[in-house]
Amino acid sequence: MTEVTKEEFGVIPGQGSVQKWRLKSQSVTVEIISLGCIITSIKTKGRDGEFNDIVLGFDNLQGYLNNARYFGAVIGRVANRIAGGRFTVDGKEYQLAINNGPNTLHGGVRGFDKAIWSCQSVEGGVRLTLISPDGDEGFPGELRATVTYILAEDTLSIQYQACSSKTTPINLTNHSYFNLADHAAPDIYDHEVSITSNAYLPVDENMIPTGEIRQVDGSPFDLREPVLLGPRVREVPGPGFDHNFCLASGRKTHFCLRIEEVYHPASGRVLEVSTSQSGVQFYTANFLDGSLQGKDGATYPKHCSFCLETQNWPDAVNKVQ
């Protein structure tokens, strides 16, 4: 059985109270706050019997109010980048807020990660709901989004739903940063990763997919068999992995398929990820630089963690798939 409890995490003047929900099974404890549906902590046991917190985050609400790297947050309306911050739907062009060079990133200036969601308890977890008004960050339609976290023994499931009054792009994901040794460990070079994908999306200088779907054969992006991350990340052009791996033809599947596994030999911890989405953005914390002070006074340098953001393909609203 999963124990579900809640408490106040803090108050944002003019916006309201932020709740913290704790989901606890015999093997895993997950903490989630109503600001941005943020996962603030995942504690799980290693082979030594000790529990460690394996996601990056902050000790208090103020840290999450300045969460420029989206630690643990649900991203929306559209995760990843939209080229030029514009798209056309039903013959009408929409211009979005620009917040990443020439592009829109992770929903814009005030995406779903910065909103306080309403919460209700469900069996084994919590359901969070947000109403995004028509025109929010430039997107059309009033949109109702729900995110449900359920913990069953050692499995955390995240279920996303959204309904809009107008045709609009929607692409929700979770942006947790993992280090299976401990959130404060200095790097992930001793982790082994595998991703069941035959292709990835090359990107241009602005991190927008070029439109090519490139096979991984013979490249550093071939992660179909487990590889040690330290040597492999140094082979990738640029600062590290920040690429979409293609899991399907670009269209959402109707079943969950286990497609990623990360193993940390020293602790014995394994993270398995399953998804019904057509892609996963594998990101190795290339833009962290040690300037952020996280939980327990930890600093988070480059390559200290990784993200597996299951989602639709980046800039899909402007690409033919």
Residues assigned a catalytic role: 175, 309
Cβ neighbours for 142, distance < 8 A, ≥ 6 positions apart: 131, 132, 133, 134, 164, 165, 166
| Burial tier of 100 (Cβ tally within 10 Å: 0-12, 13-18, 19+) | middle
**SS3 of residue 83 by DSSP:** helix
Residue 274 is assigned to a ligand binding site: no
Residue 80 labelled as part of a binding site:
yes
**Tokens representing residue 311 in the block:** 């989602």
Q: State yes or no: 264 annotated in a binding site.
A: no
In the chain, DSSP finds a helix count (H) and a strand count (E) of 2, 24
List strand residue ranges (DSSP E) for 108-142, in order.
Answer: 118-122, 125-132
Coil, strand or helix: which one is 160? strand
**Interacting residues of 155 by C-beta distance below 8 A, sequence separation 6+:** none
The answer to whether 17 is annotated as binding is no
Annotated binding site: 80-81, 175-177, 242
Annotated binding site for beta-D-galactose: 80-81, 175-177, 242
